[in-house]
Homo-oligomer: A and B are copies of this chain.
């Protein structure tokens, strides 16, 4: 049987702890330990907590994954730490599809970081989870240790804190995305471009921000103070951050948002000020969630392959469960600029904006800019499915995407 007991890191070692081990060290009978484990009532509180602490200390794990759990009940948990939104939806969709293919159930949960207390990891294992996929979550060292003890492989999507330890993570080429978005705006003639993004500490946000800065710098465009706003990628952050930059003495003509939601918030801030999009203000989002296509005007955005990321995360988790080594601790999937209707040539000159030509000018610029700083892709020390491809030629796609809606800009 492949799953013989203890095939932990370094095989051999002392045998796994059993009830007897714990009972002996607690000075009680095996029966009592069993009762504690099962929450029976006939155990004195003092005894109970003693046994519980010993159980933890001995890292006791349920030994014989019983029938109920083994056949199909294998499941993988996808855990978010905030309420679900359009971003989550795409991740879930991707994970669920991949799970269906592999025959494992995908359990969705929402768990604030503070809810992940002591028994957390063990509970997951006891509940039949085989692995955990944490989305944009910050995991403490203690939590990582708890997962390891419970033998639960972990995959993180868009890790908030940098992979300080050996956690497997999935992301996208945020730097290239930030670069592409900013280049797109620059190529439309914008010079006063602001960035309204996420938490300053979040790795993905930093990468996007640096992509933006790199593009601005390469073009010699200034980034005045106040042109970079932090937030949490939410709608409200766009309303607030958008208001902040739009009310500056020298307001931007274009804004790059760290997420689609934030971009929509900025749209609202612009609307409240009587600014038309894209005539008076161009906006680029990030993610390409469903809301991007549904915005009015449809949002130009940097597509993050969220479904694929969910799928890759799930398959990676399964590989870890099977005991395989993954080739790389971090994988990045390529982002891609999707041009829709929320960006236009600066100052709203109606004629003369050829989206296709604008788009074509993006790719080479982006690539050259990328080629120079090899250091920039810092977070990706790994074999990725496709290394940082920046922007595909959006001509056909852009037309296809909003073909019905906004014919006026092509004229």
Contacts and interface: CB of A to CB of B under 8 A. Distances in A.
A38 to B, nearest CB: 6
Contacts of A75: 73, 75, 105, 107, 128
A96 B73 contact: no
A124 to B, nearest CB: 8
Contacts of A69: 66, 68-69, 73, 128
Pick from A75, A291, A296, A383 the residue with the most CB of B within 10 Å: A296
A290 interface: yes
A127 interface: yes
A407 B66 contact: no
Nearest to A403: B383
Nearest to A78: B108
Interface residues of A, number: 69
A132 B85 CA distance: 23
A77 to B, nearest CB: 7
Pick from A39, A264, A265, A268 the residue with the most CB of B within 10 Å: A268
Interface stretch (A9-17, A86-94, A145-153, A177-185): A86-94
B123 A272 contact: no
A126 B383 CA distance: 38
A382 to B, nearest CB: 6
A70 B290 CA distance: 38
Nearest to A97: B110
B73 A296 contact: no
Pick from A77, A96, A293, A404 the residue with the most CB of B within 10 Å: A404
Contact of A72 (B93, B123, B293, B296): B123
Contacts of A404: 239, 243, 272, 382-383
A77 B123 CA distance: 19
A267 B239 contact: no
A321 interface: no
Nearest to A267: B296
Contacts of A293: 235
Contact of A107 (B85, B93, B105, B295): B105
Interface string A370-395: 00000000000011010000000000
B68 A126 contact: yes
Interface string A117-152: 000000110111100000000000000000000000
A97 B111 CA distance: 9
Nearest to A298: B268
Interface in A42-95: 62, 65-73, 75, 77, 83-86, 88-90, 92-93
